[in-house]
Chain A
């Protein structure tokens, strides 16, 4: 067996056999799914039922405010002094301020902080009530107003693809998701490469090894071996998450909140909307399956997957080689700090710029960062998913990345072969620079 392959094989098998790998592989999807569910659940939970006292001295509230199982409204025309409110069973007091019809303002006093869900219900109810009162005052027919009030619904189209909606924003989110995943992976496994190199140096096994293999073979073997561990974990995660989702769906019943079913149960549209909102805090009100299917159809899936794989691999090679060089230069984990920062900084910038790209894909910062090799993997992912990157830009960005990772791997190799044999020396940037010019 070829020596590099032997090294890759060792890196892979020793890591995959570790109990921590098994635990992470099984717990990862559970934690992710569990985390999302827990957040959704916690967000929808309200421990106390709020008794809301609305002080309406001007008598503007003309209709009943709708109660939910967590919020009950009571209306009073008299002011309640604070001590009286404190002694009362009411948990929230809302004072409609004077001249509320012309200047719609209210103060809210609480005993326990209401959740955002409760707040939004209160806001919603007051909005509607005040709006109704104002319409009455202006002698406008509420039904006519409802007809007039319809907002403009803008659907956007790419001129090159007339006939299909573009959903650029939503597609950018998909790109961002891929980019974010890449960021996590590169960082997680890049740091493992660094730790692995440090381990070999601390164990003093490294000199034994490089009497048999070239330092560069050893470094690349480690980088590739750990990448394979990552891919294995990634694939297992997909398989496990997929299985869990399918199983979970069939157990829970996927269409528990199917609107048509709820309607049959005699619920009003408003309550139904509320319910859907409550169950899916992340999705906006415009969520519907048809649109999702449309968006997915819009994304050039093969292109996105190919670019994802390409940027993923090249980005990982770029960063992990730099992290390997850091690992070789230092004696202990604490010494890594000063070198880690400049390496992690571009990654953090990349994530920030990728967020900007979702909102404003044509921003110069986004265009530039999609070329700069240290940020391009994540930023270009967003642009490709959006379809806002011309082919030449994509190819240029890829080309630059390949040239850079070859360069950094070469540089890292030079630092590495000197660093692994250097003990007990406090390493500075200047020192690292010198190592580049040592003859092999």
Chain B
């Protein structure tokens, strides 16, 4: 696999000068449970200070990979590097992990519980209390401190869990399905926090089934299917790669005339006619450009707009998974 490094400059410069964002590398990681292969030679890079999307259908092996990165379980082969050095047990203190299967002790009070989790991460009691109070205040949930967890709604409990994940200011945050269980308002809150954390120089790896979130948040992705890495690289590049060179042309005039006018520069692959609004989907022929097409069309129809059809991550996901060709596309990554 070629790991190309993109040309564009770091989008999110570290605002914390004392510690640069962490870079995470997965090298040839395999994991088997008996006869079942959960991961088969996964190699991927998570560039520092960016949001990385780990995608894949259910049962693809995402959670297993995350558990290897968080050192909950070990790989059979391969290794995980943090900032170029093999990861050690002590590194878990620099990581924040929000598992997909997440919960809290029902009978404990919210504040007490959050303190306990923070102290397990190595914070002192005083420090953890101070930081928790600040977070609770910022999110306007100070009143929850003495509530029992069982009195909270699912969304409220998820908020507490998110806070405990990031409280110790980890430099690498791994979120497994962070938006599940949240209403749109709270999902937005989490999204804002993820962007804020990234801007502060935190490396974020998130696994999600929400493709719009991937388009919105992720700089790079890795797509796993059936234990193997199918797609890995920069989101924009991948979307471009999957583009079929199809344009949506809005026009006024006769559709048959438009089809004829295209001649060899392109092919009409779809059309929509609504009242006075006409739209044609034109796939541009090899060797031609959109300008060639427009030149052909201008004498025949009045053109109102032209837009390239960029495939959505949703479609790319489905195509990549249904093609079953591992590593068929590795696209340049921004770093």
Q: Which of A10, A14, A211, A434 contacts B99 (CB 8 A)?
A: A211
Q: Which residue of B lies closest to A202 (CB)?
A: B103
Please tell me if the beta carbons of B107 and A205 are within 8 angstroms of each other in the complex.
no
Is the CB–CB distance between B119 and A1 below 8 Å? yes
B120 contacts which of A14, A200, A209, A440 (Cβ < 8 Å)? Answer: A209
B101 touches A6 (CB 8 A): no
* Interface pick from B69-77, B138-146, B204-212, B297-305: B69-77
Given known A6-B120, A204-B103, A205-B103, contact A211–B108 (CB-CB < 8 A)? no
B74 touches A211 (CB 8 A): no
Measured CB to CB, the closest approach of chain A to B76, in angstroms, equals: 6
- The complex places the Cα of A3 from the Cα of B121 at a distance, in Å, of 9
Within 43-86 of B, Cβ neighbours of A (below 8 Å) are at: 67, 70, 72-74, 76
Contact with B along A193-223 (1 / 0, CB 8 A): 0000001100111011111111000000000
Say yes or no for B227: interface residue by CB 8 A criterion. no
Is B314 positioned at the interface, with any CB of A under 8 Å from its CB?
A: no
| Residue B156 at the chain A interface, CB threshold 8 Å | no
Contact B34 A14 (CB under 8 A): no
Interface presence of B164 (CB below 8 A): yes
Question: Is A231 positioned at the interface, with any CB of B under 8 Å from its CB?
Answer: no
CB-CB nearest in chain A for B63: A421
Taking the complex as formed, is B117 at the interface, i.e. its CB lies under 8 A from any CB of chain A? yes
Nearest to B99 among chain A residues (CB) is A207
A181 at the interface (CB under 8 A from B): no
State which of A204, A208, A210 has its C-beta within 8 Å of the C-beta of B164: A208
Contact B67 A208 (CB under 8 A): no
CA distance A200 to B101 in the complex (A): 11
Determine the chain B residues whose CB is within 8 A of the CB of A257 once the complex forms.
none
Taken residue by residue from 98 to 109, chain B's Cβ proximity to chain A (1 for < 8 Å, 0 otherwise) reads as 110111111110
Bound-state Cα–Cα, A14 to B89, Å: 28
- A residues sitting closer than 8 Å to B (CB atoms) are 1, 3, 6-7, 10, 14, 18, 199-200, 203-205, 207-214, 417, 421, 423, 434, 438-440
B103 touches A208 (CB 8 A): yes
What are 20 sample pairs from A and B whose C-beta atoms fall under 8 A apart?
A1-B119, A3-B120, A10-B116, A14-B105, A200-B105, A203-B103, A203-B105, A204-B99, A204-B101, A205-B104, A208-B99, A208-B102, A209-B117, A210-B72, A211-B72, A212-B92, A213-B120, A214-B89, A417-B73, A421-B67
Nearest chain A CB to B102's CB is how many angstroms away?
6
- The answer to whether B247 has its CB under 8 Å from any CB of chain A is no
Which residues on the A side are within 8 Å of B34 (C-beta)? 434, 438
Q: List chain A residues, Cβ under 8 A from B120.
A: 3, 6-7, 209, 212-213
Beyond known contacts A209-B117, A421-B73: 10 more, CB 8 A cutoff = A14-B107, A203-B104, A203-B106, A207-B99, A208-B97, A211-B97, A212-B117, A421-B101, A434-B34, A439-B74
Closest chain B residue to A1, Cβ basis: B119
A208 to B161, CA, bound (A): 9
Please name all residues of chain A whose beta carbon is closer than 8 Å to the beta carbon of B101 when the two chains form the complex. 204, 207, 421, 423
